[in-house]
A and B are shown apart, each in its own frame.
Chain A
Amino acid sequence: AQSVAQPEDQVNVAEGNPLTVKCTYSVSGNPYLFWYVQYPNRGLQFLLKYITGDNLVKGSYGFEAEFNKSQTSFHLKKPSALVSDSALYFCAVRDTPGGSYIPTFGRGTSLIVHP
């Protein structure tokens, strides 16, 4: 079975500071991992994914995520936060091979960037 956890309901960071949004996962095989962002009154937008290869994945809007197999984590990071980064962030996982085609989403982490 596949599962994902986002241990923080909310993350607060000052503008200009680095940010980290945490995600841990559990799969039987190898994970496909995804990060999405949701702005108010909008659908989820794809940010980045890890499928295989380099553990550091770069995505949209200056975000990156680091895959750590030993810690089963896929934390989202950005070197310098912007107020406009304030949004709801979702981590998702698919188990491969043979896992569910349907990704499992975390409950989301609200990121608040203070001016």
Chain B
Amino acid sequence: DSGVTQTPKHLITATGQRVTLRCSPRSGDLSVYWYQQSLDQGLQFLIHYYNGEERAKGNILERFSAQQFPDLHSELNLSSLELGDSALYFCASSGGGSNQPQHFGDGTRLSIL
């Protein structure tokens, strides 16, 4: 058990809709990262938050947004969903220092119909 909790585990919705994915980081970890995993694109970094502040953006679409709350949990909001957004979305957390590994949740599987 990584200590990172993601909800929901599965999400099925239609094109054009909006969804929110939730992540609770490992106790004590201030950094939260969001990734998208698909068969053709591999593991793509989306965004990084540290103690409530956005620190880095990766290949995140403008239709996607995220935030980290004072209790350190994070939400990833996906809007105007397209078929191509179907993927596994992972949250990871880490402690301080770039030599620390990331701890991943078990992901949210998003299916767009």
Contact = CB atoms under 8 A, between A and B. Distances in A.
Contacts of A44: 43, 90, 92, 102, 104
Contacts, number: 53
Contacts of B55: 101
Contacts of A49: 99, 101
Contacts of B107: 42-43
Interface stretch (A10-18, A75-83, A103-111): A103-111
Interface of A: 32, 34, 36, 41-46, 49, 51, 90, 94, 96, 99-103, 105, 107-108
B97 to A, nearest CB: 10
Nearest to A50: B99
Interface residues of B, number: 22
A96 to B, nearest CB: 6
B45 to A, nearest CB: 6
Interface of B: 2, 4, 6, 33, 42-43, 45, 48, 55-56, 58, 90, 92, 98-99, 101-107
Contacts of A32: 98-99
8 contacts: A32-B99, A36-B104, A43-B105, A44-B104, A101-B48, A101-B55, A101-B98, A102-B58
B106 A41 contact: yes
B2 to A, nearest CB: 6
A105 B42 contact: yes
Given A41-B106, A44-B104, A102 B33 contact: yes
